[in-house]
Chain A
Amino acid sequence: MSDIQAESDLTYVREEMLAEAPPPVRDKGAVAWLRKNLFSSWLNGAMTVLALYVIWVIVPPLLNFAFFDAVWEGASREACATQQQGGVQPNGWFGACWPYIGDYFAQFVYGRYPIDQRWRVDIVFALFVIGLVPLLIPSAPAKGPNIVYMAVIFPVVALLLLSGGDFEYGSFIGIGEALASAAYDAGFWIDYALLALVFLGLAFAWAKATGAHALEPIKLVLVIMAALAVLLFLLGFDFGLESVPTSVWGGLLVTLVIAVTGIAASLPLGILLALGRRSDMPIVRFVCVVFIEFWRGVPLITVLFMSSVMLPLFLPEGVSFDKLLRALIGVALFSAAYMAEVVRGGLQAIPKGQYEGADAVGLAYWQKMRLIILPQALTLVIPGIVNTFIGLFKDTTLVLIIGLFDFLGQIQSSFTDPSWATPVQAVTAYLFAAFVYWVFCFAMSRYSIFTENRLRAGHQR
């Protein structure tokens, strides 16, 4: 029976099933590729030609400046100046002045950090890389200890190494001062112990009032206060390191300190804020909404200005906040608000059935969020999260306006040195700065794509 017959007769019974057949062979080869991708239509052809022209206008001069006409060796401005400008280059020469970057490289990285103490910064960089690399490789072992190292050990060690530790604490309630006026630190510790007792009392009262078991909150308070005490003790201990105030930190060091702290603080804070904004508890929701809308509604420059100009006005006399610390807090809270909205977008994309499925098997709120909702929500919004990270990384340059010398600030301050002053100095320096920022941001972008693909491959068909 033929198919034509089948159509006319309205009845048809297939006598044999068709075997699987390969798809038709597509056009192959370079010409076919060009036709398909670059010249598939008249308009696309024109666009291709236009794009080629733009590339031809931009790329060769850039390559000439950065490589072919660039100066690679030299000891001072003469090497990078034309004869008219008092140098050795032919008139009309225009190329990058790389020896100037080489000469200033250490300052771009460390700022005014004392030269004989720079090994401490190097150790911090090394410790950071040692912790970060295995964390980024999914198959690397011991993720748990690795996270503890990066979240607890590294920040403390880094702070001790970079600043030198041996912080002084004064009595903050006054009782300690009265009891131990001779020893400055002792006054602090007496006050600290009193504060811990107050918290213990509050925890006990809270447990009694709500009828909960008193042991848990008391244990929690003890653990937190003890951990804080250990931290404060370590930071106050004199390890014999020379003290380096943050005012002399600079360059890439400051950029990375702000960016890394901002990234590390904004993600967890943002997640908490996003959960809070979707909470059933009206007060929690209200506080989170106010927080997010406040920080999103204020420009970062304003935040930084306020922190450096207005905050000291509100603080009691004699109390001063480190300028870098203020910038750190400002940047972290600012990005946390943005992060919260990104995460909220992810939370809203998770179907209601996932919440119900988790509820139905008996998971408690935090288990449900940690094990079911957040892993899916965060995977969905990885592009948005990394977007915020990249924005944060570049926004660190704004700290220049409150007198911190980050990487870009350090580069700009090098322009005042007459020994390298030439017309190409700034162009070279900005090209270098752009390249460094681009490397960091592009690396984050690539890693985010890698992570997206890895997680997507995990559970999708």
Chain B
Amino acid sequence: MSDTLADDTIPQTRPAEERSGPAIEMRDVNKWFGEFHVLRDINLKVRRGERIVICGPSGSGKSTMIRCINRLEEHQKGDIFVDGIELTNDLKKIDEIRREVGMVFQHFNLFPHLTIMENCTLAPIWVRKMPKREADEIAMTYLERVKIPEQAHKYPGQLSGGQQQRVAIARALCMSPRIMLFDEPTSALDPEMIKEVLDVMVDLAGSGMTMLVVTHEMGFARQVANRVIFMDAGQIVEQNEPEAFFTNPQHDRTKLFLSQILH
């Protein structure tokens, strides 16, 4: 099983957009936290419209890897291209990439001093310089899409965890990103709320968004992913189409991991 297997066999839900080339490309990316070698020679090519689920034990570097894509973490070796833009220390390029890449966090990271509506319109108004009325309309569209338009004028603290996470998704979508990163979006939620968030993500996947999802929701991976990546000790250990990945894992570490989470 080679790293390139999945690349050419994935059906595109939407024709490639005007820009050609991969949505994300990581070449020999390495990162250390002090002495700790957290990412080791990561090579990953994500096609436009592709939906990738990344799993692995905690501390395996999955979150760090996707956080490198929008420069929440800085990589020390290797190259990362996002939407054709090389990620360097150039602040302008970082800002450009962050405008194209939406991110959803484990702990939502909504802005508690702003209403739901303001959370969603802040970045379009200040970063995209959008008139407030237009931003409000777009925000409302996405809040309807995540099925909480009636909460628009409440504050994040007044919402349940599942609702907050859906707001976080709407907030990211309001910037019309080409790529969405999800960093364990359901790990901090009560079991009853996981489904409402996953439903929104499935809906988003249906629209052809490029998605990288760090999650242990294997049902979601089977239903939505084009490719599942298993990471351990800072490396990509195995990747495959979901069906093959779950029914016929190759690497011993993958087998062990799957046997522990799938019972």
Q: Which residues of A contact B (CB under 8 A)?
A: 353-354, 356-364, 367, 371-372, 375-376, 379, 455, 458-461
The answer to the question of B24 belonging to the interface, with a C-beta cut-off of 8 Å to chain A, is no
Minimal Cβ-Cβ distance residue in B for A370:
B126
Measured between beta carbons, the chain B residues less than 8 angstroms from A375 are: 113
B72 contact from A360, A371, A461, Cβ within 8 A: A360
Measured between beta carbons, the chain B residues less than 8 angstroms from A367 are: 126-127
Measured between beta carbons, the chain A residues less than 8 angstroms from B98 are: 359-362
CA of A371 to CA of B203, assembled, Å: 31
Q: Are A354 and B109 in contact (CB under 8 A)?
A: yes
The answer to the question of B70 belonging to the interface, with a C-beta cut-off of 8 Å to chain A, is yes
Q: Are B175 and A362 in contact (CB under 8 A)?
A: yes
The answer to the question of B253 belonging to the interface, with a C-beta cut-off of 8 Å to chain A, is no
Q: Are A354 and B111 in contact (CB under 8 A)?
A: yes
Q: Are B123 and A361 in contact (CB under 8 A)?
A: yes
Q: Are B126 and A363 in contact (CB under 8 A)?
A: yes
Measured between beta carbons, the chain A residues less than 8 angstroms from B171 are: 361
Chain B proximity of A113: nearest CB distance (Å): 45
CA of A363 to CA of B103, assembled, Å: 13
Q: Are B95 and A364 in contact (CB under 8 A)?
A: yes
The answer to the question of B40 belonging to the interface, with a C-beta cut-off of 8 Å to chain A, is no
Q: With A359-B70, A362-B98 given, can you name 9 additional A-B contacts, CB distance below 8 Å? A: A353-B107, A361-B98, A361-B102, A361-B127, A367-B126, A371-B126, A372-B111, A376-B112, A376-B113
State the total of A-B contacts with C-beta under 8 angstroms: 72
| Interface-facing stretch out of B153-161, B208-216, B238-246 | B153-161
- Can you give 27 A-B contacts (C-beta < 8 A)? A353-B105, A354-B111, A357-B110, A357-B111, A358-B111, A360-B102, A361-B127, A361-B171, A362-B95, A362-B99, A362-B123, A362-B127, A363-B123, A363-B126, A363-B127, A367-B126, A371-B122, A371-B126, A372-B111, A376-B112, A458-B113, A459-B112, A459-B155, A459-B156, A459-B157, A460-B157, A461-B157
The answer to the question of B55 belonging to the interface, with a C-beta cut-off of 8 Å to chain A, is no
Q: Ordered nearest first, which 5 A-B pairs have the shortest CB separation?
A: A357-B109, A361-B123, A360-B103, A353-B109, A362-B98
Q: Are A361 and B122 in contact (CB under 8 A)?
A: yes
Chain B proximity of A455: nearest CB distance (Å): 8
Minimal Cβ-Cβ distance residue in A for B114:
A459
CA of A354 to CA of B71, assembled, Å: 15
Interface string of B90-112 (1 = CB under 8 A from A): 01000100110111010111111
The answer to the question of B53 belonging to the interface, with a C-beta cut-off of 8 Å to chain A, is no
CA of A375 to CA of B123, assembled, Å: 16
Measured between beta carbons, the chain B residues less than 8 angstroms from A379 are: 113
B155 contact from A357, A360, A458, Cβ within 8 A: A458
The answer to the question of B65 belonging to the interface, with a C-beta cut-off of 8 Å to chain A, is no
Measured between beta carbons, the chain A residues less than 8 angstroms from B102 are: 360-361
Interface string of B65-92 (1 = CB under 8 A from A): 0000011100000000000000000010
The answer to the question of B221 belonging to the interface, with a C-beta cut-off of 8 Å to chain A, is no
The answer to the question of B228 belonging to the interface, with a C-beta cut-off of 8 Å to chain A, is no
Minimal Cβ-Cβ distance residue in B for A379:
B113
Minimal Cβ-Cβ distance residue in B for A356:
B72
Residue among B101, B126, B158 facing the most chain A CB atoms (10 A cut-off): B126
Measured between beta carbons, the chain B residues less than 8 angstroms from A353 are: 105, 107-109
CA of A166 to CA of B232, assembled, Å: 75
Interface string of B157-192 (1 = CB under 8 A from A): 110000000000001100100000000000000000
Residue among A354, A364, A458, A459 facing the most chain B CB atoms (10 A cut-off): A459
CA of A360 to CA of B157, assembled, Å: 21
Q: Are B175 and A361 in contact (CB under 8 A)?
A: yes
CA of A359 to CA of B103, assembled, Å: 10
CA of A455 to CA of B91, assembled, Å: 34
CA of A356 to CA of B70, assembled, Å: 10
Measured between beta carbons, the chain B residues less than 8 angstroms from A459 are: 112-114, 155-157
- A461-B158 CB under 8 A given contacts A353-B107, A356-B72, A364-B95: yes
Measured between beta carbons, the chain B residues less than 8 angstroms from A455 are: 113
CA of A169 to CA of B72, assembled, Å: 52
Chain B proximity of A352: nearest CB distance (Å): 9
Measured between beta carbons, the chain A residues less than 8 angstroms from B172 are: 360-361
Minimal Cβ-Cβ distance residue in A for B97:
A362
Interface string of B106-133 (1 = CB under 8 A from A): 0111111110000000110011000000
Residue among A356, A362, A363, A455 facing the most chain B CB atoms (10 A cut-off): A362
Measured between beta carbons, the chain B residues less than 8 angstroms from A359 are: 70-72, 98
CA of A461 to CA of B112, assembled, Å: 11
